[in-house]
Structure 1
Amino acid sequence: MNLFYVQSIVGGVSKVKSFLEDNYIGIPWSALGDLEQASSEELCELLEQRYGIIADNSGDVLETIQLFADRMSDGDYVVIKDEDWMYVGDLGDYYYDDSIGTSEDLICHRRGVTWLGRVPLEDINEHMQTLLQEPNVVAQFKLPVKQARLDQALRGNSDAAASIGTALNQETQRVAPESIKTLTHDHTLPRVEQSTIDTALQVLQEALLSKDEGLRVQAAIAILQYAKP
């Protein structure tokens, strides 16, 4: 299992609200098309044709694109940030969504995310502080994931979240108070299909079998909150 950081500022605009509400993360360069089957040679040609980035200067961009499309995996962890918080999620598969266009203000290269919670930036350890200062659009945590101490931070900070469920509810209420209802009190999410909720509950049920005691406790609390009338 790996951990990645993805920039949430695209074209000078924060995408945190969109990432959290629509349960995904993404990268720019939308005009490249679907990356799933693209080789390095094809990507270099497309970068030059569509973005004017010649092969000799495409190293960092090419590395970022391939990291996002190929080296991230379903079940890895991802973090994003805004001014005050770091948000932690469980990654899903890569997909390409050009249904509303491919302009550079749109995010077409995506991975689904199950958001687990948030932590104040002031409470994360020095290893995570270093990761969040990476300049690249996507960066991988080079140390063993346990050294990120994500579970301890999420479990130990009551201001950030008492559980997986309340962490996400607090953030969605802050960024979109009129557009989304809380899962724990209403059981209806206008922007989320029932199949997505069922999938999220399945993830929590699987987490109940984890060897990590903290993760089991968080999953149990989240399920009980959802079941609460």
Structure 2
Amino acid sequence: MKLYGMRLNPAFEGRFERFLEDNYISIGYTGLGDLEGAGKDEIEDRLIGLGRYVGHGLRTASEEVHLFANGVQDGDFILFADGDTVMLGDVGDYFYVESSDVPEDGACHRRGVTWLHRIARSELNGLVQDMLDAPGAIQSFPYPFQLAQLDRWLSPQGVQPSAADRSKVDDETIAEALAVLKLALRSDDPDRRERAAAAILRYAK
């Protein structure tokens, strides 16, 4: 179980509520065809073939598309943001809509989503807000899922990680995440210090 963040693609301006009503998200990137089963190298080759991506832009696009099509898994969670509004959803499988693979639409690469809650961005902790502020179309939460502190929106008791997830979130990983928070406590940014302190205290409960 992992957490990902996405901001509304500027090309989809005005379509946030449509994505919510139709229960899907899209990353854009027209002209690549169906990415079902396509590995990272094949995705990069297709991007090169479009002639629109080179250098750093090519690497960024390849990583984003690969993460959306192959990295995210059925059952992971997504925070989909548009301004001060963030929707929390349970993500489904990747699928391709050929009729939308045109610049006028663009929402051809999709993942189904079961939307769970609409959340004010200010209610999310600093670690999650940092993820949503990061550049790019999609980001993975780089800490153990528990540090996102989303339990209050997932269920009354919170979602417990499966045995497989617990094995991945070992003591060493948690210690590394807490070390990052401790470094943030010494940041010159008072807001970042406050968010780090709150995250540590929350985790310690």
| Normalised TM-score (structure 2) | 0.70
Gaps spanning 5+ residues in structure 2: where?
161-205
Quote the residue 1:213 is aligned against. 157
**1:38-117 matched pairs, under 5 angstroms:** 38-54=38-54, 57-103=57-103, 105-117=105-117
TM superposition outliers: structure 1 runs of 4+ over 6 Å: none
**1:178-189 matched pairs, under 5 angstroms:** none
1:103 aligned partner, one-letter code? P
- Look up the SS of the partner of 1:31 in the other structure: coil
- Look up the SS of the partner of 1:143 in the other structure: coil
User: How many corresponding residue pairs?
Assistant: 160
**Preserved contact between residue 28 and residue 104 of structure 1 (Cα < 8 Å):** no
2:19 aligned partner, one-letter code? F
**Preserved contact between residue 151 and residue 157 of structure 2 (Cα < 8 Å):** no
Q: Deviations over 1:47-104 (max 9, x none)?
A: 1222421367511110001101111000000011122221100000000012244226
Say which is worse superposed, 121-130 or 93-102, in terms of deviation: 93-102
**1:71-220 matched pairs, under 5 angstroms:** 71-103=71-103, 105-152=105-152, 154=153, 213-214=157-158
- Over 3 Å counting, the alpha-carbon distance change for 1:118 and 1:213 in structure 2 is same
CA RMSD of aligned residues (A): 2.3
2:27 aligned partner, one-letter code? I
| Normalised TM-score (structure 1) | 0.63
Q: Distance in 2 between matches of 1:215 and 1:48?
A: 41
- Over 3 Å counting, the alpha-carbon distance change for 1:48 and 1:89 in structure 2 is same
Q: Distance in 1 between matches of 2:79 and 2:133?
A: 12
Q: Deviations over 1:14-60 (max 9, x none)?
A: 43112101000111112101111223333222212224213675111
Greater RCO structure (CA 8 Å; 6+ sep): 2
Q: Distance in 1 between matches of 2:131 and 2:94?
A: 22
- Over 3 Å counting, the alpha-carbon distance change for 1:107 and 1:80 in structure 2 is same
- Over 3 Å counting, the alpha-carbon distance change for 1:44 and 1:91 in structure 2 is same
Gaps spanning 5+ residues in structure 1: where?
156-206, 217-229
- Look up the SS of the partner of 1:43 in the other structure: helix
